[in-house]
C-alpha cells in the first residue's frame, strides 16, 4: 500500500511532509437536551431578518412554511417563514415591496391583518433581475385552539397587481401535544437571552434557528440541524432519539437510537447531521422519540442541492485531495480510503457506505479538505498521515476469518492504529513462556494454554489496550482497555494467561482487580 502515498505525492505535485497526530473519531451527530422554552410575547406581524438565499433554493412563487410550538395556557405559537421571489419586483420602479399577513377563522372571517414594507439592500437589489433568488420574511403570532386559514401576500410597493399570494390551512393545538412540529435549519446555536442579531429566523428559549420556508443543504456546507420540543408532565426521564432519511418513500438510512435525558424544565431536543456526499434530490427527515410505550414521530422535507456555481466545490474537485481521489479506481478507492469509515460517526458511516463511488469521492474530497490542519500550505498532512497509517495496517494487521479476508481497518488492532497511530509503549508477546520478561519472538502461539497477546499504551492519554489472539487462527480481539470510552469484556482477565496479567502489572501498574474497578 505504499503506492497510495506515492500516488498522492504525484497528484499534489509537491514534496510530502510528515506530521503524525493522534486523532480520535469526531462524533458529528449530537443529541442534547437544551434549556426550557421561554414564553414569547407578541402575536402579529414580526418582520424577520432579510436573507438572500442560494439560487437553487428559491422559486418563482411565494413559499410559506408554518411551524407550530406550544405554550402553557393552551396557546399555539406559530412561526412563519416566507420566501419572497425577487422576480416579483422586476415590474416595479423601486426596490421596495410590501408583505401582508391575514388570519381567517374556519368560517372565513378576517380575524387579524398586518403588513410591513421592506426596502432591498444594494446586495439584494442586484438579484432582482436574476429571476431565481428570494428574500426570507419571518413572522410570529399566537392562536387559541381552532381551525384557521393564513394568507400571505407580497407585492411591489408601487405595483400591487404584480404581487403573489398563498393561502394555507392551519390547525391550532386543541390540547397539550406530545411534541411541536419538527424544525429543520442550516444552523442552530445558543444565543443571548435577548436573542437579537445573528440572522436567526426563529428564536426559542435562548436558541437561535436559521430556518427557511424551503430547507436546502449546500454541498459546501452539508450540515442539517433539527429542533423539536417535547411537552407533557414527564418528570426526569430518558428518551431514545432516532432519525431516518427517506427518499421517494424509501428509507435511505437510519440513525441508531441514542438515549437522551429530558428534564421537566428542559423540553427541547436539537442535533445535527452531516450529509456530505448525499446525492442531490428531495428527501424527508424523520425524527423518532420513544419513552417506553409512548412514541413520537415528526418529519419535514429538505433538499440536497447540486454543487453551485461557487468556487468552493470546483476548487475541491481540482484540489490536491480531489486529483488524488479521482485517480483511484473503484477498487483502489475502497482498499485505500475505505478506512475512513472508522474515523467518522455511526451516522456518517451509514451514509458513507450507502453512497455510490462518485458520491464517495465527493465525500472523501471534502472530508480530507475539512480536516487539513494547515489548509493554506502545500499538501494535506492529515491525508498524508492517513495514507501512512493505512499502509502500515495493510502490512501488519490483515486477518483471515474463515475463507474471507477482513479489511485491516475492521480488525481490532488495525482500527485502533488507524485512529491513534503508533503506540509509544508496546508489549508484543507472541510466544508466552513464563512470568519473566516479555518476548518479541514470533512463535507457535503460546505455552501451557496461554494465548498470544499485545499491550499498547499511548503516552498522551496514558490509556492501555490489551489484545489477545484467543482462537489461534489469526483473529485478534481487544479484551481490556483503561480507556473509559472503550468497553472491556467483563471476564477479560479469564481470557488471558498469567504472562499478560504480569505484564499489565509490571509495565503499566494494572492488576485484574484495578482493571475491574475501572469498568
User: Which of 2-11, 101-110, 379-388, 397-406 is the least confident region?
Assistant: 2-11
444 burial (CB, 10 Å; 0-12 / 13-18 / 19+) is exposed
Distance, CA of 286 to CA of 305 (rounded, Å): 19
Cα of 110 vs its chain's centroid, Å? 43
203-213 burial code (b ≥16 CB/10 A, e <16): bbbbbbbbbbb
Q: What is the DSSP letter of 106?
A: T
Residue 273: predicted pLDDT? 86
Q: Which residue has the higher pLDDT, 263 or 304?
A: 304
pLDDT in tens, 270-300: 888 888 777 788 999 999 888 655 578 999 9
Percent of the chain with pLDDT over 90: 28
Distance, CA of 317 to CA of 326 (rounded, Å): 8
Residue 427: is its pLDDT beyond 60? yes
Distance, CA of 274 to CA of 221 (rounded, Å): 9
- Cell numbers 425524527: residue: 287
Which residues are CB-neighbours of 216 under 8 A, at least 6 positions away? 53, 54, 56, 57, 186, 302, 303, 304, 305
Split at pLDDT 50, 70, 90, the class of 205 is: confident
Residue 120: predicted pLDDT? 81
Please tell me whether residue 96 adopts helix, strand or coil conformation: strand
Ordered strands of the 464-468 beta sheet: 425-429, 453-457, 464-468, 477-481
Q: Which residue has the higher pLDDT, 214 or 50?
A: 214
Residue 495: predicted pLDDT? 85
What backbone torsions phi and psi does residue 195 show, to the nearest 5 degrees?
A: 70, 20
Q: What is the full DSSP assignment across 14-60? A: S---------PPPP--EEEEEPPPPP----S-------BPPGGG--S
**Which cell is 124 given?**
439584494
Ordered strands of the 63-71 beta sheet: 63-71, 75-85, 134-143
- Residue 442: count of CB within 10 angstroms of its CB: 10
Q: What is the full DSSP assignment across 146-183? A: EEEEEEEEEEETT-GGG-EEEEEEEEE-SS--SB---E
Residue 378: is its pLDDT beyond 70? yes
Mean pLDDT over 343-357 rounds to 77
Residue 4: predicted pLDDT? 66
Which residues are CB-neighbours of 179 under 8 A, at least 6 positions away? 228, 229, 230, 231, 289, 296, 298
Cα of 233 vs its chain's centroid, Å? 30
Distance, CA of 212 to CA of 74 (rounded, Å): 26
Percent of the chain with pLDDT over 70: 71
pLDDT in tens, 81-101: 998 887 777 666 788 889 999
Distance, CA of 47 to CA of 43 (rounded, Å): 12
**Which cell is 73 given?**
395556557
pLDDT in tens, 127-176: 665 555 778 899 999 999 999 999 999 998 888 888 888 999 999 999 99
User: Which of 105-109, 260-264, 331-335, 345-349 is the least confident region?
Assistant: 260-264
Nearest to 71 by CA among 11, 130, 144: 144
Query: ∠ CA(426), CA(431), CA(432), 5° rounding?
Result: 85
Residue 68: is its pLDDT beyond 80? yes
What is the average pLDDT value for the chain, to the nearest integer? 76
139-157 burial code (b ≥16 CB/10 A, e <16): bbbbbeeeebebbbbbbbb
Query: ∠ CA(264), CA(269), CA(275), 5° rounding?
Result: 170
Amino acid at each position: 500500500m505504499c503506492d497510495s502515498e506515492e500516488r498522492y505525492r504525484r497528484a499534489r505535485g509537491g514534496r510530502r511532509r510528515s506530521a503524525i497526530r493522534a486523532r480520535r473519531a469526531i462524533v458529528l451527530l449530537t443529541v442534547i437536551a437544551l434549556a426550557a422554552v421561554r414564553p414569547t410575547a407578541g402575536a402579529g406581524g414580526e418582520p424577520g431578518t432579510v436573507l438572500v438565499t442560494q439560487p437553487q433554493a428559491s422559486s418563482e412563487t411565494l413559499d410559506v412554511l408554518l411551524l407550530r410550538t406550544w405554550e402553557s395556557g393552551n396557546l399555539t405559537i406559530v412561526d412563519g417563514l416566507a420566501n419572497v421571489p425577487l422576480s416579483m419586483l422586476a415590474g416595479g420602479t423601486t426596490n421596495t415591496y410590501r408583505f401582508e399577513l391575514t388570519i381567517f377563522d374556519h368560517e372565513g372571517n378576517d380575524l387579524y391583518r398586518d403588513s410591513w414594507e421592506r426596502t432591498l439592500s444594494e446586495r439584494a437589489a442586484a438579484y432582482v433581475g436574476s429571476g431565481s433568488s428570494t428574500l426570507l420574511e419571518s413572522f410570529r403570532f399566537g392562536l387559541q385552539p381552532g381551525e384557521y386559514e393564513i394568507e400571505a401576500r407580497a407585492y411591489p410597493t408601487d405595483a400591487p397587481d404584480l404581487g403573489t399570494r398563498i393561502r394555507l390551512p392551519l390547525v391550532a393545538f386543541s390540547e397539550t401535544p406530545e411534541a411541536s412540529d419538527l424544525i429543520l435549519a442550516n444552523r442552530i446555536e445558543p444565543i443571548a437571552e435577548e436573542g437579537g442579531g445573528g440572522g436567526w429566523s426563529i428564536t426559542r428559549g435562548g436558541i437561535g434557528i436559521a430556518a427557511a420556508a424551503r430547507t436546502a443543504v449546500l454541498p459546501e456546507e452539508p450540515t442539517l440541524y433539527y429542533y423539536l420540543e417535547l411537552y407533557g408532565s414527564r418528570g426526569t426521564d430518558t428518551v431514545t432519539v432516532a432519525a431516518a432519511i427517506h427518499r421517494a418513500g424509501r428509507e435511505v438510512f437510519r440513525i441508531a437510537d441514542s438515549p437522551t435525558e429530558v428534564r421537566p424544565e428542559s423540553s427541547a431536543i436539537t442535533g445535527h447531521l452531516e450529509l456530505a456526499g448525499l446525492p442531490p434530490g428531495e428527501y424527508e427527515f424523520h425524527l423518532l422519540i420513544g419513552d417506553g410505550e409512548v412514541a413520537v414521530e415528526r418529519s419535514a422535507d429538505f433538499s440536497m442541492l447540486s454543487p453551485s456555481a461557487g468556487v468552493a466545490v470546483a476548487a475541491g474537485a481540482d484540489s490536491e485531495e480531489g486529483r488524488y481521489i479521482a485517480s483511484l479506481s473503484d477498487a483502489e478507492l475502497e482498499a485505500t480510503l475505505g478506512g475512513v469509515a472508522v474515523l467518522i460517526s455511526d451516522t456518517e458511516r451509514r451514509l458513507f457506505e450507502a453512497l455510490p463511488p462518485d458520491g464517495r469521492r465527493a465525500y472523501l474530497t471534502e472530508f480530507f479538505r475539512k480536516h487539513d490542519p494547515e489548509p493554506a500550505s502545500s499538501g494535506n498532512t492529515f491525508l498524508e498521515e492517513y495514507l501512512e497509517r493505512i499502509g502500515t495496517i495493510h502490512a501488519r494487521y490483515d486477518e483471515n476469518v474463515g475463507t474471507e479476508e477482513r479489511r485491516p481497518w475492521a480488525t481490532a488492532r488495525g482500527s485502533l492504529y488507524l485512529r491513534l497511530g503508533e503506540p509509544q509503549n508496546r508489549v508484543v508477546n507472541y510466544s508466552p513462556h513464563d512470568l519473566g520478561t516479555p518476548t518479541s519472538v514470533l512463535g507457535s502461539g503460546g505455552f501451557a494454554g496461554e494465548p498470544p497477546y499485545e499491550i499498547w499504551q499511548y503516552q498522551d492519554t496514558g490509556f492501555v489496550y490489551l489484545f489477545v489472539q484467543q482462537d489461534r487462527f489469526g483473529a485478534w480481539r481487544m479484551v481490556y482497555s483503561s480507556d473509559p470510552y472503550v468497553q472491556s469484556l467483563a471476564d477479560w482477565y479469564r481470557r488471558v494467561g498469567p504472562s499478560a496479567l504480569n505484564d499489565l502489572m509490571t509495565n503499566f501498574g494494572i492488576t485484574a482487580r484495578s482493571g475491574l474497578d475501572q469498568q
